[in-house]
Amino acid sequence: MTEHRTTTARRVALVTGGSRGIGRESVERLAADGFAVVVTYAGNKAEADAAVAAVVSAGGEALAHQADVADEVAVAGLFDAAEEAFGGVDVVVHAAGVMALAPLVDLDLDVLDRMHRTNIRGTFVVGQQAARRLRNGGALINFSSSVLALALPGYSAYAATKGAVEAITLILARELRGRDITVNAVAPGPTATALFLDGKDEETIAKMAAQPPLERLGTPQDIAEVVSFLAGPARWVNGQVLRANGGIA
């Protein structure tokens, strides 16, 4: 674990899935916004350390911490590490997730269970710790997906997990009445990350890029901009799913 302690009352953000893709871009954007950042990763320590190094080289503060988001003991330890290093947690960005695509009739049920564990149980476990430990004035930002509204063939299992994420998000926002904590979800459209690009041919990618009126894929920077908004100035946005997809649906 790489650690840089803070001596100020700087706000603190914890980002799951923070070593790559949208999570990594969110780490760098929140650090640029002035947050000390905890970069949470599942297994690739090198990528997480690189994310921390990028923040530190830009003058920010960060640490990397490994945790399985579906393991309640590991996630409690993650929040412990954030509190020990930086004094507390103000924003949780839960960007960790997995995606496997296949028609419903063909999907291996073990694959379904693994997606369920990471995407649904993980959201529940991270949400529990966030609800217990976020400081007042904080924010929890979950990740859904715009595929939920598009009803694309092959996405039944993944979209089902994201439907659960939206339900958890909207209900938790109401359960935290009186805490001055916002709970929202970001639902990206097709975004140029490894999670999206892996396994797709060029024709499929081009077809999906042409769907939005803006006629391009989203970028991790596009989504990090939304995360920054919900983590900072968006105090009157609560219990919402923000579909950041270029107008695709």
Q: Is 158 a catalytic residue?
A: yes
∠ CA 189-151-160, nearest 5°, is 85
- As given in the structure block, the two tokens for residue 43 are 């297994």
165 Cβ neighbours under 8 A, 6+ residues apart: 119, 120, 123, 142, 143, 144, 185
- The residue type of 18 is G
How far is it, in rounded angstroms, from Cα 159 to Cα 149? Answer: 9
16 Cβ neighbours under 8 A, 6+ residues apart: 23, 40, 67, 69, 92, 93, 94, 95, 96, 122, 126
In 3D, which of 21, 12, 40, 44 has the Cα closest to residue 186?
21
* Catalytic site residue from 129, 158, 183, 188: 158
**Residues that are catalytic:** 158
